[in-house]
Structure 1
Amino acid sequence: MTDVEHLLTQLSLDEKVSLLAGQDFWSLPAIERIGLRSLVMSDGPIGVRGVGWAPDDPSIALPSPTALAAAWDVELAERAGRLLGQESRRKGVHLLLGPTVNLQRTPLGGRHFECYSEDPLLSGEIAVGFVRGVQRHGVGTTVKHLVGNDFETDRMEVDVRIGDRALREIYLAPFERVVQAGGWGVMSAYNSVNGFSMAQNGPIQDTILKQEWGFDGVVVSDWRAARSTVGAARGGLDIAMPALENPWGEKLVSAVRAGEVPEEIIDDKVRRVLLLAQRVGVLDGGPAVTIPDDLDGDTIAHEVAARSFVLVRNENYTLPLEPAALTKVAVIGALATDARVLGGGSAQVSPPHVISPLAGLETALSGVDVEYAIGADPRPFLPAAHGPGWAPTTVTMGDHSFLVDPAAVRWIGSLPGGLDPAGIDEIRLETTFTPDTAGEHTFAVSGFGTFELRVGDRLLYEGTLHPPGATRADLLLSPREQRATVTLEAGVAVPVVLRQSIARGMAHTVSTTIGHRPPGPDDEGMIAEAVRLAAGSDVAVIVVGTTEQTESEGFDRTSLALPGRQDELVSRVAAANPRTVVVVNAGSPVLMPWADEVAATLLTWFPGQEAGAALADVLLGVAEPGGRLPTTWPRREEDCPVFAIEPRDGEVAYGEGVFVGYRGWLRSGVAPLYAFGHGLGYTTWQYEEMVVTETEAVVTLTNTGARAGREVVQLYVGSSPVDPERPERWLAGFENVEARPEETVTVRIPLPPRTFEVFQDGGWVRRTGEYRVIAAHALDEPRLTATLVV
């Protein structure tokens, strides 16, 4: 092992400080004379983007983190992590920026899909599995965003006010669990907590994280979150990213020489950076980094998707469908062909392929008449041009070209082909379209920049899509669109060319799309067409969901309602065909006013690149829907115990304390539409016996159905009688079990010491007394109850 202390003595103050700030957007500098190579970071909640966002280097796209948590399976989370560790090594990435363990405090949170759960124990355990998997490859993780970044509104400036007890028992708990498990990095949030900006929050980052928890890894700022030289240096931050507008460098060197920052603080940060470099294999003399896996990305993506789908309703055993009994299946919805497989913002990657729900069902039902109708289109932007009639799009920058399909490019950081941003002033997208329908076609340019769009010999648009005062981050997260129409003949190919002018040196951030919509009926006509198709089919499968403009990083949702006329579509189709199955393609809860009208409802989250193939397997019974809700789904917005996100005088007060998520629902006494932990399978389970001690519960159960299946045994604990200062009950543990028909299995579920502790008067206190221990199928479906005295 390299002697880090010896290396420290060889470094000048300037060299030390250079290791604490980005040299560009994604990496730290090398110091070759001590054997230190550059350490590279990458976004990566669902895939490893790498140092760019370029579609010529695609990234495996797993289902969203909420989907991974919906599987309630730590081993599956570890396999997902192993895959992304493998992907990191392939892309030359040493530090993955994830996972996200912020709590789903309100369903309006714009990044809800990127967070695991509303429960700290479930979030922490899934995160631990993921972190272990990634770090098995010698790739670091940075659990984020420490702390209170549970919403997007004013996230750069807002001060989140959290009481000590809620902070420790709820919001810090998953971070603490990851640190205990050996995580190598933590990312600090943009927001402030209790008066201190998190990038310089010494009470949390230094006192709690490093001193109390013994964290020996690095604390990395969120990008451009570090805005103070001395405050951040003294407040526990170790690495300020990126190079752009970085407050350290020469300013920090000067602060040390002026005595404002002790050099011992700098040395501690450098030790941490060098230890991380040693762990990830970019420091000579460290342990050899091996790649122990050769996992297939498609297989893992498919497995996680199928295991995450939550069947919340299944009347009269509508699912699984029997292919032999089907002659005609209606597939309806804009998202059936243009599925949202990942969330917007930092979670986005360019996958090698995407299997849509329609494509998945068409492949699986090769002998069945599968017909499609759009029904209702909630997308405020036209979808990227692709599909029948469209040739792949050639993207050209300078002397470098590559193909994309659909016609969209987006990246941040390094350019495709290793091009220098300083040498690029134009991007050109060129394709050919051969329409199969004559008439008025609508084309669109979306993104940000100055554009020229030509279709055939016509100039359809020339102008700039730059809203006044928008930052580049705003532009990336909230692009604009311009539409134009042109009349085309069926069967006659036309060239489509989009040119984007770029200011010199600014090509490191790009978002450009050619949108298209063929001639077709109006909104009412689309719904009527879908109803006619459904009425004449054996079963109707409707795919509904959110759009990138309603659910994404950068802003919070304003409503839980599905956008557009999707609710109306579901109700009218269900009235026409009693065998209507609704697939909800959303990363977080949505309102379902039609919930009791349909035969079956399946929640698929943002299901990753294998979306349609996994969906077909679950609908047809090849795989069982293995998911359970990691968050509560309300019947009405006004029922949510915590809902509005309204900063007042720059603050958001977490006044509910520990009563967040299902804890708050239990206190309110209002029944949600679907409770935390809810989910149906294709078999039935009889819970036979439970034996409880202070350290574990042993539960025996039998598969009483006709199919092999999986059950998530959930263990809840509550004071007896109920302590008004504590939730009625809380999740204490969980385990997956599998069994064949009539097979009996036994599972052991540990009870961690924190189950019986509360944080008060500055420390953890064990509360003795009588507790109810409940083995349950879901929060609202207890199966066995035992009494435990501690």
Structure 2
Amino acid sequence: MKYRDLIKHMTLEEKASLMSGKDFWQTQEIERLGVKSIFLADGPHGIRKQAAAADHLGLNPSIPATCFPTAATVANSWNVELGEKIGHYLGKEAVSQKLNVLLGPGINMKRDPLCGRNFEYFSEDPYLAGKLAAGYIKGIQEHGISACVKHFAANNQEERRMSIDTIVDERTLREIYLTAFEIAITESKPLTVMSSYNKVNGAYTNENLHLMQDILREEWGYDGVVVTDWGGSNDRVAGLIAGNELEMPTTAGETNAEIVEAIKSGELDEDVLDQCVDRLLDLIFTTEQAFAGEHKPVIDVKEHHAAAQQAAEESIVLLKNEDSILPLNPQSKVAIIGDFADQPRYQGAGSSIVNPTMLDNTLNALKHVNINSIGYEPGYDRYGNKNSAKLARACALAKQADVVLLYIGLDEATEAEGLDRQNMKLPANQIALLDALYQANPNIIAVLSCGSAIEMPWIHQVKGLVHGYLSGQAGALAVLRVLTGEVNPSGKLAESYPLRYEDTPASRNFPGKEVSVEYREGLFIGYRYYDTANVQVLYPFGYGLSYTSFDYSDLTVNETGAEFTITNSGKLDGMEIAQLYVGCATSSIFRASKELKGFTKLFLRAGESKTVHIPFDDKTFRYFNVKTNRWEVEEANYTIMIGASSADIRLQASLHVAGSGAPVPYEKEQLPSYYSGQASNVSQAEFEQLLGHAVPTATWDRSQPLGYNDTIAQCQYAKGWIARLAFHGITFAHWFLQKIGKRSTANLIMMSVYHMPFRGIARMTGGIVNMPMLDGILMMANGSFFKGLRHLLKERKKLMQTAKSK
């Protein structure tokens, strides 16, 4: 241990105290030994350090900081160096605000397009997500502070996220849901990892020895700190044994006492605690060096804003350009329509909300570009209400224009942490506006703002489609520069866009509503499914248009990688993203028809050619063998594909690769859905063959009393009338708030109350409610109202007396 001598001078109580927060955002200190408190704060795309009352849902404003495009946006740049540059600016701002740990990036897979937090994650592909995250982490940590990669692992839905059990086979877990973490952790060495709320195959992630010890610590050699997601600790001692050092936020000493008692009783070896303390001390002392100088960094707000604009420009995706309607003709009369043009939708909602230092909007940014605007109309109400007067005024303006710029997308209440989306549709009032505008003027260019995939049955009604995703505080001007041709668009989709939600492979098993969620589709998420099962999509993974064209030629492949030539065959300078996919020619082990194994982005002047080399690495040909319990290589001929998207393969060659000689792990006839790739409707029996065991019961046992990990939603089945009354009161309040248009407040009820497990009441209240008090609440919920009330009041009195005596 690095700090053995210092730890010897600590009392048992002092060591235990370091394992939990001092308050909502800070760790505990030990002044007599020079151990300082460190500060952690949200920041996947901007610093959210709250100066006033702290919360985890983005309710209270934070200190102003640059709001960069979200991860879902920057993923469309396919530019690792850009990610590192964003990380550099994030890290610099973190140091200026004396922030030790920046809680990001988030790299969970986009298993299903309805996950409410998809805007905060990079991709449906683990290789792309891992490489981009590694860039972010390197940029952040070059300033001496810590990035915190999250949420480890298989946290792919928001509904019931604090208690849902993810049922996933080992190979899928390794190849899809852990590979991005593996790349980020082994290549960029983040000082902190955040465990997720959910269970994986029956064990909460922060207590899951297979995840935390077998894989993270032993296989990947990770020696940094693991912190819980806020309120994500279940059994504190079990978490410590698994190597989850830091529990956040504070529990006012309650769980520290549990650690002390566990050591005194022999349940916990003190050496385990000492090792956890040692790792936490290393994080504290390492990151504190970032503030050792006399002067903190001076933030040039305009420089950082310009960096956010560059990030947005390189991440914008041109999806449609019928009749070359773009770039805009400077002489064309342009009508600007849509509420988002005036009030931009530029970031997600929840714990990642950033208070921007500046904020561009389209109307104010027009003065910086050559667009002949004839006026603006909002056209629709932002939160979905019908407004015929606004629609009529918008159509009247459209009739006077040559071209309509229509700003549409999803609002803040639709994409939010803690909630999953109900569907993949645009709001009905926006579609009604588009229908009416199409009759008034068919020359429509839609500018789309949202953080995840949507259905587009209306796509035939627009001639141009520019997708800005959630492009940060400088996104409005970035979009205008693409529309005018000052910037040649170079973004490509980091996720597939299905024709309809029912086409998605997880749609029958998303979200898990009660006890568990079954990942029956296995490896086949996103393009891995669509391409293998031959399911048509609207826009494939890796797709994006440019104002120029690129030709691919001269592919050669050897054991080190693929080399080929790209030529800019158009009339404009531009950037192209070349993608390397690999497919296996044999069928003894089921696989997707192609998997992304490399990519590069390069700038080419008009007429210029460049030779490109994409190297192979240790992940190019591997698969996880569940019989040998390790990564193996199958001896086979592999097809090496170079594409402009997953569906636009320009070059291909064959390469024979020697294998590792491992036995075939499956009986082919028992897994027909997986061997065919038709994995969207897998039976329970076949899924159990893949798992190697029976699936647990997915529904609540309504005969059992409510416990710590049951949710408030389960109060509908409670024996106690007070719990049932509370349930109906909560559901009525949610319905009523939705009815009167208070959707954000209604969402808050679902996020912070409805899906909260009972233990969350203790874990998230900073010691106001402790576990003995929670026992009283559960007694009341389970039918012993007066007994529970007496217990609650007695334990509350004890807590108050203890607090006064300190």
TM-score bin (small chain):
0.7 to 0.9
The aligned residue for residue 152 of structure 1 is: 158
The aligned residue for residue 373 of structure 2 is: 369
How many Å apart are 1:571 and its aligned residue?
Answer: 2.9
Kept after mapping to 2: 8 A contact 1:184/1:218: yes
How many Å apart are 1:550 and its aligned residue?
Answer: 1.2
Kept after mapping to 2: 8 A contact 1:378/1:565: no
| 1:664 to 1:14, Cα distance in 2 relative to 1, 3 A | same
| 1:194 to 1:311, Cα distance in 2 relative to 1, 3 A | same
How many Å apart are 1:287 and its aligned residue?
Answer: 11
Whether 2:119 is the aligned partner of 1:113: answer: yes
The aligned residue for residue 679 of structure 1 is: 544
Which residue identity lines up with residue 232 of structure 1 in the other structure? G
How many Å apart are 1:313 and its aligned residue?
Answer: 0.5
Whether 2:194 is the aligned partner of 1:174: answer: no
Find 2:534's aligned residue among 669, 677, 681.
669
The aligned residue for residue 655 of structure 1 is: 520
Q: Residues 553-575 of structure 1: CA distance to partner in whole angstroms, max 9, x if unpaired?
A: 01101100111311122233233
The aligned residue for residue 144 of structure 2 is: 138
How many Å apart are 1:235 and its aligned residue?
Answer: 2.2
Kept after mapping to 1: 8 A contact 2:160/2:513: no
Kept after mapping to 2: 8 A contact 1:334/1:377: yes
Q: Residues 361-417 of structure 1: CA distance to partner in whole angstroms, max 9, x if unpaired?
A: 354247x33411111224159xxxxxxxxxxxxxxxxxxxxxxxxxxxxxxxxxxxx
Alignment gaps of 5+ in structure 2: 52-57, 658-806
Which residue identity lines up with residue 379 of structure 1 in the other structure? Y
Kept after mapping to 2: 8 A contact 1:696/1:748: yes
Whether 2:792 is the aligned partner of 1:787: answer: no
Whether 2:88 is the aligned partner of 1:82: answer: yes
- SS of residue in 1 equivalent to 2:414: coil
| 1:129 to 1:98, Cα distance in 2 relative to 1, 3 A | same
The aligned residue for residue 17 of structure 1 is: 16
Kept after mapping to 1: 8 A contact 2:48/2:62: no
The aligned residue for residue 48 of structure 2 is: 49
Kept after mapping to 1: 8 A contact 2:99/2:145: yes
The aligned residue for residue 185 of structure 1 is: 192
The aligned residue for residue 744 of structure 1 is: 609
| 1:591 to 1:739, Cα distance in 2 relative to 1, 3 A | same
Which residue identity lines up with residue 99 of structure 1 in the other structure? P
Alignment of 1:727-738 (within 5 A): 727-738=592-603
Alignment of 1:250-649 (within 5 A): 250-281=257-288, 296-323=303-330, 325-326=331-332, 328-365=333-370, 368-379=372-383, 523-644=387-508, 645-647=510-512, 649=514
| 1:197 to 1:288, Cα distance in 2 relative to 1, 3 A | farther
The aligned residue for residue 421 of structure 1 is: none
Kept after mapping to 1: 8 A contact 2:374/2:401: no
The aligned residue for residue 236 of structure 1 is: 243
> How many angstroms apart in 2 are the aligned matches of 1:747 and 1:758?
26
> How many angstroms apart in 2 are the aligned matches of 1:228 and 1:247?
12
Kept after mapping to 2: 8 A contact 1:137/1:289: no
> How many angstroms apart in 2 are the aligned matches of 1:340 and 1:649?
33
Kept after mapping to 2: 8 A contact 1:135/1:141: yes
How many Å apart are 1:183 and its aligned residue?
Answer: 1.4
The aligned residue for residue 638 of structure 2 is: 771
Whether 2:68 is the aligned partner of 1:69: answer: no
More strand by proportion, 1 or 2? 1
Kept after mapping to 2: 8 A contact 1:759/1:765: yes
Which residue identity lines up with residue 45 of structure 1 in the other structure? P
Kept after mapping to 1: 8 A contact 2:449/2:469: yes
- SS of residue in 2 equivalent to 1:673: strand
| 1:355 to 1:249, Cα distance in 2 relative to 1, 3 A | same
The aligned residue for residue 34 of structure 1 is: 33
> How many angstroms apart in 1 are the aligned matches of 2:213 and 2:524?
27
Identical pairs, percent:
36
Kept after mapping to 1: 8 A contact 2:642/2:652: yes
How many Å apart are 1:293 and its aligned residue?
Answer: 9.4
How many Å apart are 1:177 and its aligned residue?
Answer: 0.9
Q: Bigger relative contact order, structure 1 or 2, given CA contacts below 8 A and separation 6+?
A: 1
Which residue identity lines up with residue 284 of structure 2 in the other structure? A
How many Å apart are 1:24 and its aligned residue?
Answer: 0.3
Q: Residues 621-666 of structure 1: CA distance to partner in whole angstroms, max 9, x if unpaired?
A: 1112221000001111221122252426501011111111111112
The aligned residue for residue 212 of structure 1 is: 219
| 1:747 to 1:247, Cα distance in 2 relative to 1, 3 A | farther
Kept after mapping to 2: 8 A contact 1:274/1:283: no
> How many angstroms apart in 1 are the aligned matches of 2:382 and 2:427?
5
> How many angstroms apart in 2 are the aligned matches of 1:266 and 1:244?
18
Moved more, 635-644 or 619-628: 635-644
Whether 2:555 is the aligned partner of 1:690: answer: yes
> How many angstroms apart in 1 are the aligned matches of 2:108 and 2:127?
12
The aligned residue for residue 752 of structure 2 is: none
| 1:260 to 1:348, Cα distance in 2 relative to 1, 3 A | same
Find 1:725's aligned residue among 590, 595, 600.
590
| 1:592 to 1:361, Cα distance in 2 relative to 1, 3 A | farther
The aligned residue for residue 100 of structure 2 is: 94
Q: How high is the TM-score relative to the length of structure 1?
A: 0.79
Q: Residues 441-487 of structure 1: CA distance to partner in whole angstroms, max 9, x if unpaired?
A: xxxxxxxxxxxxxxxxxxxxxxxxxxxxxxxxxxxxxxxxxxxxxxx
Moved more, 88-97 or 249-258: 249-258
| 1:292 to 1:732, Cα distance in 2 relative to 1, 3 A | farther
> How many angstroms apart in 2 are the aligned matches of 1:353 and 1:603?
22
How many Å apart are 1:358 and its aligned residue?
Answer: 2.6
Q: Name segments (4+ residues, structure 1) moved above 3 Å.
A: 51-56, 244-247, 286-295, 721-724
> How many angstroms apart in 2 are the aligned matches of 1:186 and 1:246?
23
Alignment gaps of 5+ in structure 1: 382-521
- SS of residue in 2 equivalent to 1:784: strand
Query: Please, what is the CA RMSD of the aligned residues?
Result: 2.1
- Aligned residue pairs total 645
Q: Residues 251-270 of structure 1: CA distance to partner in whole angstroms, max 9, x if unpaired?
A: 21111111111111101111
> How many angstroms apart in 2 are the aligned matches of 1:649 and 1:616?
45
The aligned residue for residue 403 of structure 1 is: none
Which residue identity lines up with residue 162 of structure 1 in the other structure? V
Kept after mapping to 2: 8 A contact 1:38/1:282: no
> How many angstroms apart in 2 are the aligned matches of 1:646 and 1:599?
35
> How many angstroms apart in 2 are the aligned matches of 1:289 and 1:653?
52
Kept after mapping to 2: 8 A contact 1:14/1:253: yes
> How many angstroms apart in 2 are the aligned matches of 1:113 and 1:694?
37
Which residue identity lines up with residue 377 of structure 1 in the other structure? D
| 1:749 to 1:352, Cα distance in 2 relative to 1, 3 A | same
> How many angstroms apart in 2 are the aligned matches of 1:283 and 1:331?
47
- SS of residue in 2 equivalent to 1:714: strand
| 1:723 to 1:72, Cα distance in 2 relative to 1, 3 A | farther
Kept after mapping to 1: 8 A contact 2:228/2:247: yes
Kept after mapping to 1: 8 A contact 2:69/2:347: yes
Which residue identity lines up with residue 475 of structure 2 in the other structure? A
> How many angstroms apart in 2 are the aligned matches of 1:20 and 1:7?
16
Which residue identity lines up with residue 182 of structure 2 in the other structure? E
> How many angstroms apart in 2 are the aligned matches of 1:316 and 1:94?
52
How many Å apart are 1:753 and its aligned residue?
Answer: 1.9
Kept after mapping to 2: 8 A contact 1:226/1:247: no
The aligned residue for residue 490 of structure 1 is: none
